[in-house]
Amino acid sequence: MKFTKFGKALLTGALSAGVIFGVSSCIQSYTVGYLYVTGTVTAQPNGNGIVTGYKIDHNTGQLVRINGLPVSSGGANPVRAVLASGSRFLYVLNRGVNSSGSGDCTTADPCQNSNITQYAVGGNGMLTPQQVFYTQGINPFRLAVDGSGSFLMVLDHDAPSSAACQAALGSGVSACGDITLFAIDSRTGRLSLVQNAQVSSAGGAPLSYFPVPANPVDFAITSAYVLTLTGNSASPAFPYTGGANVFPYAFNPGSGQLTLNQNTVQPLGIAGGNAIVNASGLVYVLDNEPLSYTSNNTTVTALSQILPFTVGSNGALQAETSGRVPSGPGQANPIQLMVENKGIFVYVANDGNNLIGPNGNSGIDGYFITTNPAFQLSFTSLEPYGSGSGPQCIVEDPSYQFIYTANYYDSTVTGQVLDPNSGVLNKMVVASSYALPGPATWCLVDGRTS
């Protein structure tokens, strides 16, 4: 077939337009997921906290505020949020405030009006409040969902009954914390209380919570156990610190029931534990205290450390052969850890030691996991990485390209690009810092966009 000059020109133009259109289609931006952030200090007239939400751009990692957000968190001082039932429901734990309204709750002056507020996650990431639920204990401060999304657990710093503490943990125990356990209705998201089948209340009825030793700091759920990090002495106020021991409950993923196989508290040989995290088959304890030790004939000093464990029989933690891992230079107060999707790199958010204002110890530590020797954490290049001031959480986006932290002291969300080969975190081409209406307390990502 032959073409005239005019026909050739039309064909060339059509082909050029097709190429341009094809290239444009390849780089077309779209939302890969949502990032939600809870915050405390707001302009809410009722004193409630807020939940802010962003769309995550697939190509650049840029955050765009979700229309209609922020919304009220449903109570004062939201500290944790989780997703369940295929990300159709979001739950926010509001600690409440003490009698003076300052929010600095203690055992002597506990939080009032604490609750769990449920939201339906709608189109474009919108949040619609549904129902409100309440824990059985006092001063709730941690919230988690099991791996199947069937059960929601809340860690209360103080149990309501010393008699129940003795019945569960042995004579001589005058005080304890507790875990309030709920089953999640997969259709409605409604929470229903799971009773303690092992311990009875004073009246002979099943106890409505599961006691844990006094001074709980954090907890983690594995496939077979719920592990609570506890301290030897009382931390004066939230955020609770001083973790030194781990207390295990056996977890039945079918019924949700927690059972004491043996009433054993496992000392970890530390005194400044901040968090316990279950990630990629290992349990990590984050410890905020100076250390100095010898490794491979080299003296190692750091402001804080990470302790990696496997979980053995009866929930006992078994230290990895690599032993303790120091935090990066100048980093302190590690409070959250994540393992990226390939299981090669580990990142730790460090809050820093200055709990009043911006501080120089905030940042992100990066490690890569070696297989020879088995499970050795080594620093990635160029770490530690910057973040906002006082990161409270660290998450990976659903497309596994970007890392975000939400920061307390400067009220920001910050994002970085994850190099999948080296694990290095690089600055985003677009804006990498986004202002929040108030200090951030937690964050999470949702990969469900429809």
Is residue 382, in this structure, part of any structural domain at all?
no
Q: Are residues 229 and 261 in the same domain?
A: yes
pLDDT for the residue numbered 361: 82
CA-atom Rg of the chain in angstroms: 24
Q: Are residues 112 and 215 in the same domain?
A: no
Is residue 302, in this structure, part of any structural domain at all?
yes
Is residue 155, in this structure, part of any structural domain at all?
yes
Bridge-based pairing state of the strands 282-287 and 273-279? antiparallel
pLDDT for the residue numbered 26: 52
Q: Are residues 45 and 102 in the same domain?
A: yes
Q: Which of 331, 347, 376 is the last residue of a domain?
A: 331
Q: Are residues 129 and 166 in the same domain?
A: no
Burial level of 54, CB count in 10 A (0-12/13-18/19+)? buried
Is residue 9, in this structure, part of any structural domain at all?
no
Q: Which of 331, 346, 365 is the last residue of a domain?
A: 331
- How far is 347 from 365, CA to CA, in rounded Å? 6
In angstroms, the first-to-last Cα distance of the chain is 48
- How far is 244 from 289, CA to CA, in rounded Å? 11
Is residue 313, in this structure, part of any structural domain at all?
yes
Number of structural domains (the chain) is 2
Sorted by sequence, the CB contacts under 8 Å of residue 197 that are 6+ apart come out as 206, 257, 259
For residue 329, the 8-state DSSP code is T
> Own/partner pairs for 370-377, CB < 8 Å, 24+ apart?
373/321, 373/322, 374/321, 374/322, 375/282, 375/308, 375/320, 375/321, 375/322, 376/322, 377/306, 377/308, 377/322, 377/325, 377/346
Is residue 21, in this structure, part of any structural domain at all?
no
φ/ψ of residue 380, rounded to 5:
-80, 165
Q: Are residues 272 and 301 in the same domain?
A: yes
Q: Are 439 and 411 in contact (CB under 8 A)?
A: yes
Is residue 387, in this structure, part of any structural domain at all?
no
Tell me how far CA of residue 226 lies from CA of 2, 32, 214, in angstroms.
76, 32, 16
- pTM, 2 dp: 0.91
Structural domain including 70 reads 28-134+398-450
pLDDT for the residue numbered 15: 45
Q: Are residues 209 and 119 in the same domain?
A: no
Q: Are residues 170 and 118 in the same domain?
A: no
Q: Are 328 and 300 in contact (CB under 8 A)?
A: no
Q: Are residues 228 and 144 in the same domain?
A: yes
pLDDT for the residue numbered 25: 44
Q: What is the pLDDT along the chain (450 residues), one digit of tens a residue?
A: 444 544 444 444 444 444 444 444 455 679 999 999 999 865 455 689 999 999 999 999 999 999 999 999 999 999 999 999 999 999 999 999 988 887 778 888 999 999 999 999 999 999 999 999 999 999 999 999 999 999 999 999 999 998 999 989 988 898 999 999 999 999 999 999 999 999 988 778 999 999 999 999 999 999 999 999 999 998 888 899 999 999 999 999 999 999 998 778 999 999 999 999 999 999 999 999 988 877 667 787 899 999 999 999 999 999 998 788 999 988 999 999 999 999 999 999 999 976 444 456 899 999 999 877 778 899 999 999 999 999 999 999 999 999 999 999 999 999 999 999 999 999 998 889 999 999 999 999 999 886
- How far is 20 from 16, CA to CA, in rounded Å? 6
Q: Are residues 312 and 429 in the same domain?
A: no
pLDDT for the residue numbered 332: 93
pLDDT for the residue numbered 317: 97
- How far is 318 from 295, CA to CA, in rounded Å? 20
Q: Are residues 217 and 325 in the same domain?
A: yes
Q: Which of 331, 353, 368 is the last residue of a domain?
A: 331
Q: Are residues 275 and 292 in the same domain?
A: yes
Bridge-based pairing state of the strands 305-311 and 282-287? antiparallel
Q: Are residues 184 and 311 in the same domain?
A: yes
User: How many H-runs (helices) and E-runs (strands) does the chain carry?
Assistant: 2, 37
Is residue 376, in this structure, part of any structural domain at all?
no
